[in-house]
């Protein structure tokens, strides 16, 4: 759900590798993909799968095991929780609504959700829809607070079937003072996308799930992408997923999990095939008009050189000099990393089953993404 430290490390490693070459050489093949996946496994990831789709074809492979303590192959194109990749779907719907004249990125939260964001220095009149999508609202992340509590096995068992309304989560957020004035800087907050989902519902009269399904999942034929709400089950096939206990460092199984309370911030379930189709469709112009896609890719700095964030997606430079777009995702049990070229022709999706991961795993994943898009 939140952009975790390990996922940020992937972005940082990609940025750090930029060497300024002009073009990508399309030479990445199945043997190279398998070798990179084995390196991620050797860095301590229990199970990992990846898919690279380019004009040269569709490559998919996996490494490690699907069940801890047993030799069970990780299913290629197995289902996983994609976490904060859900946010990119939601941002896309918001921009579609803007193109239809049904809302504006400059609208303030108060206009759509009167009285919801008030108190302790928080003011919905000063926070715009753009601030929400770009994480520049300054709102405290109460969703992230709960996610951190789930980093222990005890906390996971306490919260894994949580039921909580978006309004309650927003109230918990507003119970804290804002981190900064809206627009002053960038700070990741899942609450931004809970509010975005509520605005979709007010603007359309339909739930955000209905709009994402009607506008994205159905047109792109994403038959393995679901918005499960409170259901804790993953469709088959899927690997088991595990979280390292923050206190004991021992991994525990975290496969059965309800994320309906996180909703538009991180609920969706998908496969590498479906998620690659989404990213290529988005950047390839199948979902947004050029004007809206330009707004989506207009960025603000993340506080470190070369790291930038648009509306529901992050910008990164690869070692060969090309620009790629992505949104890492993490839930208890799964980490998702991805990248797609600006023209939407080549995408990489990587799903790991060891959460939250280590810097070594993040660097190995960053190398796979860079190798695949640059043809190394």
- Percent of the chain at pLDDT exceeding 70: 93
Tens-place pLDDT, residues 287-330: 999 999 999 999 999 877 778 999 999 999 999 999 999 999 99
- Percent of the chain at pLDDT exceeding 90: 91
CB under 8 Å to 321, separation ≥6 — which residues? Answer: 18, 19, 20, 21, 22, 23
What pLDDT score does 225 carry? 98
Burial tier of 20 (Cβ tally within 10 Å: 0-12, 13-18, 19+) = exposed
Q: Could you give the 3-state DSSP secondary structure of residue 328? A: coil
Name the pTM for this structure: 0.93
How many Cα atoms are found within 13 Å in the side-chain-facing hemisphere of 42?
7
The answer on pLDDT for 235 being more than 70 is yes
CB under 8 Å to 70, separation ≥6 — which residues? Answer: none
Q: What are phi and psi of 156, to 5 degrees?
A: -60, -45
What pLDDT score does 18 carry? 37
Tens-place pLDDT, residues 184-229: 999 999 999 999 999 999 999 999 999 999 999 999 999 999 999 9
pLDDT range class, residue 337, cuts 50, 70, 90 = very high
What pLDDT score does 26 carry? 53
Q: Could you give the 3-state DSSP secondary structure of residue 203? A: helix
Tens-place pLDDT, residues 71-81: 999 999 999 99
Task: Say if residues 366 and 307 touch (Cβ distance below 8 Å).
Answer: no
Q: Is 84 a catalytic residue?
A: yes
What pLDDT score does 307 carry? 82
The answer on pLDDT for 23 being more than 90 is no
Among candidate residues 310, 260, 4, 262, the one with its CA nearest the CA of residue 133: 310
pLDDT range class, residue 13, cuts 50, 70, 90 = very low
What pLDDT score does 103 carry? 98
pLDDT range class, residue 27, cuts 50, 70, 90 = confident
CB under 8 Å to 367, separation ≥6 — which residues? Answer: 13, 36, 39
The residue from 54, 63, 84, 258 that is catalytic is 84
């Amino acid at each position: 759900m939140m952009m975790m430290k390990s996922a940020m490390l992937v972005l940082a490693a990609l940025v750090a590798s930029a060497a300024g070459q002009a073009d990508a050489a399309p030479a990445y093949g199945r043997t190279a993909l398998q070798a990179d996946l084995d390196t991620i496994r050797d860095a301590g990831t229990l199970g990992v799968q990846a898919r690279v789709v380019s004009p040269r074809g569709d490559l998919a492979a996996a490494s490690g095991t699907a069940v801890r303590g047993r030799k069970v192959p990780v299913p290629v194109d197995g289902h996983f929780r994609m976490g904060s990749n859900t946010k990119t779907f939601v941002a896309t719907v918001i921009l579609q609504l803007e193109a239809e004249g049904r809302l504006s990125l400059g609208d303030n939260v108060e206009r759509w959700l009167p009285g919801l964001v008030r108190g302790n220095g928080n003011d919905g009149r000063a926070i715009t829809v753009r601030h929400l999508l770009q994480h520049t609202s300054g709102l405290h992340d109460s969703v992230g607070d709960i996610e951190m509590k789930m980093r222990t096995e005890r906390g996971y068992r306490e919260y894994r079937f949580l039921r909580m309304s978006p309004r309650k989560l927003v109230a918990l957020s507003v119970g804290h003072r804002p981190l900064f004035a809206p627009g002053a800087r960038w700070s990741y907050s899942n609450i931004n996308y809970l509010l975005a989902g509520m605005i979709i519902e007010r603007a359309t009269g339909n739930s955000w799930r209905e709009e994402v399904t009607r506008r994205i999942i159905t047109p792109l034929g994403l038959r393995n992408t679901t918005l499960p709400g409170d259901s804790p089950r993953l469709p088959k096939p899927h690997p088991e997923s595990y979280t390292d206990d923050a206190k004991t460092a021992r991994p525990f199984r975290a496969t059965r999990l309800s994320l309906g309370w996180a909703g538009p911030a991180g609920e969706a379930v998908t496969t590498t095939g479906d998620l690659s189709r989404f990213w290529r469709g988005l950047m390839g112009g199948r979902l947004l008009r050029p004007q809206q896609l330009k707004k989506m890719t207009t960025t603000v700095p993340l506080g470190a050189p070369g790291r930038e964030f648009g509306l529901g997606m992050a910008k990164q430079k690869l070692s060969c000099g090309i620009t790629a777009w992505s949104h890492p995702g993490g839930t208890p049990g799964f980490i998702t990393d991805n990248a797609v070229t600006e023209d939407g022709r080549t995408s990489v999706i990587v799903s790991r089953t060891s959460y939250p991961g280590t810097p070594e795993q993040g660097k190995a994943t960053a190398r796979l993404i860079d190798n695949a898009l640059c043809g190394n």
